[in-house]
């Protein structure tokens, strides 16, 4: 904070004047007037503790430092140590999401760096098995290939790892934890360093290194949530290399405090650096005074955080937990099983039993690479209830609609909203269709790649094409499209296949592999114990058999002529994918 640099040049009387006249009122404001906020386990509390603690170090005030470390009562229920213990899972996932670990990482690393010099006996950078290192690396894994943080919970999509917070954290981490090739890649893109030992060391490494990778070393990875790692988590399933990397995000976390969204069992897809199945992120124009002073807009609570703004089931047009943050904070989704070691088959299953009263939600995602190179995402989403409900499953997509295999009525003369509350009031109903006992397919184009969603519709379903912007007189929302599948009944199964296929060349004016290869989807069996689906792709059968209750790796299962061991099996052309 610079005061420590001139500290010895002041007389004792001058220091007293400065410290009691400038620093004390600020510290008192934080620790007395805003006592409960200071002790709150939240990113705001991290900033407050770091500010008071660094002021204490600079002024040799042990009282300030102890409050910063252990809370205003110095009992460990608040303060910096509690922030390190409470906001991160054991593997470094930050409960508010990657966008906010980007924000909080600055005070975490600045104060830890100051403590490392002033109180080395704390070994603060080793705390919780080097939790700050894990937090930094976990945050970087949760970025797109262009450096932007995945828009989990409240997030501005423009923020990336070149921000000042990451410059500071990476330079300090390099000094504390040692050289890291991945960090070198990020630092080169940041194109600036701190005037510090770590910064100078990174600059020297960049100057002498040869062939620094252009992309961070992304990998398929899973993170737990909760400070004990027992409150769900998030899976990042990746396939491909370099600029052809695909990332499927499956979120089954806790709520995420005040910045959390009502989106249990939500998915997002990134491909070739582009966001394909999207998350709205946050409704905010940070730094733009004309837009609500740059603060979060009312639409952030009214739309962006609501369930319909995501890619997960909405029951009866109401948001999960009725949109009540206090209730949502009491619960988390639960991972049932996963297998992520094979490029051919990556699978994760999770459930949610508390978001809607007496409704069981269970979703299993398969990210598959077929022998012919096709990338397929098979999505089996079961909603189970003893009473009748309306189930909406949105696919928020980024691109231009190219074609459908069903006829729809486009509302070109007059449009209505899809609903009246819980985010539905912001959606224009642009087109709709009623489909019975059929395979519904729609294809859209993003940049130069085609994407198709194929959906099994047993009995009947309504399909909607919507766009944000209704009831938005101040134009606070981006105009973004969605494709929504609506089913009604007691229990419903949503079997969907997402394909990444083909290419479009606007220069040479041609397309290749522009049509979906999915020819049929059949649900061969579905009950509380087993789900079996058969998908015909380019004339070959992809068969998925999964357990819905028994997830033990050694359990053997048989259904008719299908036999497998463990919670699932995937067969392609009668050969097991593995």
Active-site annotation, residues? 100, 259
Beta bridge partners of 235: 222, 250
- State how far the Cα of 98 lies from the Cα of 393, in Å rounded to an integer: 25
Tokens of 147: 């450096």
Sign of CA dihedral 261, 476, 155, 71: negative
CA–CA separation, 125 and 198 (whole Å)? 15
Ramachandran angles phi, psi of 121, nearest 5°: -65, -20
Residue 4 contacts by C-beta under 8 Å, 6 or more apart in sequence? 57, 58
Other CB atoms within a 10 A radius of the CB of residue 64 amount to 24
Calculate the CA dihedral of residues 133, 136, 141, 146 and round it to 10 degrees: -140
Q: How many Cβ atoms from other residues are within 10 Å of residue 111's Cβ?
A: 25
Given a contact cutoff of 8 angstroms between Cβ atoms, the answer to whether 385 and 359 are in contact is yes
- List 374's β-bridge partners, or say none: none
Residue 123, strand partner residues: none
User: What residues form DSSP beta bridges with 446?
Assistant: 449
Residue with structure tokens 């859209």?
A: 444
Contact between 426 and 472 (Cβ < 8 Å) = yes
Residue with tokens 């033990």: 552
- Convert 12-42 to b/e letters by CB count within 10 Å (16 or more is b): eeebeebbeeebeeebeebbeebeeebbbbb
CB 464 within 8 A of CB 408: no
- Rounded CA separation 365/546 (Å): 11
Closest CA to 393 of 310, 312, 281: 312
Q: How far apart are CA 23 and CA 29, in angstroms?
A: 10
Distance CA 160, CA 62 (A): 37
Q: How many CB atoms lie within 10 A of CB 412?
A: 8
CB atoms within 10 A of CB 408: 16
204 burial via Cβ count (<10 Å: 0-12, 13-18, 19+): exposed
Helix and strand tally (H, E) in the chain?
14, 27
């Amino acid at each position: 904070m610079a005061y420590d640099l001139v500290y010895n040049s002041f007389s004792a009387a001058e220091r007293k004047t400065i410290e009691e006249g400038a620093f004390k009122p600020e510290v008192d404001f934080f620790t007395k007037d805003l006592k409960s906020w200071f002790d709150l386990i939240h990113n705001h509390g991290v900033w407050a503790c770091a500010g008071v603690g660094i002021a204490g170090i600079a002024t040799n005030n042990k009282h300030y430092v102890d409050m910063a470390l252990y809370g205003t009562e110095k009992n460990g229920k608040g303060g910096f140590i509690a922030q390190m213990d409470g906001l991160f899972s054991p593997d470094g996932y930050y409960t508010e999401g990657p966008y906010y670990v980007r924000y909080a990482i600055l005070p975490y690393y600045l104060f830890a760096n100051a403590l490392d010099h002033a109180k080395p006996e704390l070994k603060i950078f080793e705390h919780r098995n080097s939790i700050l290192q894990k937090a930094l690396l976990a945050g970087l894994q949760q970025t797109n290939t262009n450096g932007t943080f995945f828009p989990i919970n409240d997030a501005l999509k423009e923020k990336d790892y070149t921000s000042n917070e990451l410059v500071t954290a990476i330079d300090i981490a390099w000094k504390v934890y040692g050289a890291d090739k991945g960090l070198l890649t990020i630092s080169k893109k940041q194109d600036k360093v701190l005037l510090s030992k770590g910064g100078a060391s990174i600059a020297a490494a960049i100057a002498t290194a040869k062939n620094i990778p252009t992309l961070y070393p992304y990998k398929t990875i899973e993170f737990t949530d909760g400070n004990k790692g027992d409150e769900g988590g998030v899976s990042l399933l990746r396939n491909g290399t370099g600029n052809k990397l695909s990332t499927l995000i499956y979120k089954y976390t806790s709520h995420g405090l005040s910045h959390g969204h009502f989106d249990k069992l939500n998915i997002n897809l990134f491909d070739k650096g582009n966001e394909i199945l999207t998350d709205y992120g946050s409704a905010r124009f940070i730094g733009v005074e004309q837009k609500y002073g740059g603060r979060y807009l009312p639409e952030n609570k009214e739309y962006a955080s609501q369930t319909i703004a995501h890619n997960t089931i909405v029951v009866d047009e109401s948001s999960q937990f009725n949109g009540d943050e206090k209730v949502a904070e009491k619960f988390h989704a639960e991972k049932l099983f996963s297998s992520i070691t094979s490029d051919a088959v990556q699978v994760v299953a999770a459930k949610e039993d508390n978001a809607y009263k007496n409704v069981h939600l269970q979703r299993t995602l398969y990210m598959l690479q077929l022998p012919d190179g096709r990338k397929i995402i098979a999505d089996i989403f079961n909603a189970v209830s003893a009473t009748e409900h309306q189930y909406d499953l949105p696919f928020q997509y980024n691109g231009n609609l190219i074609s459908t295999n069903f006829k729809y009525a486009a509302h070109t003369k007059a449009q209505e909203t899809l609903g009246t509350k819980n985010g539905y009031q912001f959606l224009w109903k642009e087109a709709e269709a009623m489909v019975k006992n059929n395979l519904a397919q729609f294809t859209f184009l993003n940049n130069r790649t085609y994407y198709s969603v194929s959906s099994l519709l047993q009995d009947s379903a309504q399909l909607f094409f919507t766009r944000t912007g209704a009831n938005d007189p101040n134009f606070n929302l981006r105009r973004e499209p969605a494709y929504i599948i609506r089913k009604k009944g007691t229990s419903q199964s949503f079997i969907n296949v997402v394909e990444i296929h083909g290419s479009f060349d606007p220069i040479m004016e041609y397309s290749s592999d522009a049509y979906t290869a999915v020819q049929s989807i059949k649900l061969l069996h579905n009950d509380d114990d087993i789900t079996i689906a058969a998908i015909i792709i380019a004339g070959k059968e992809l068969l998925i058999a999964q357990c819905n209750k028994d997830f033990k790796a050694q359990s053997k299962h048989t259904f008719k002529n299908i036999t497998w061991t463990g919670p699932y099996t995937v067969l392609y052309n009668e050969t097991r994918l593995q």
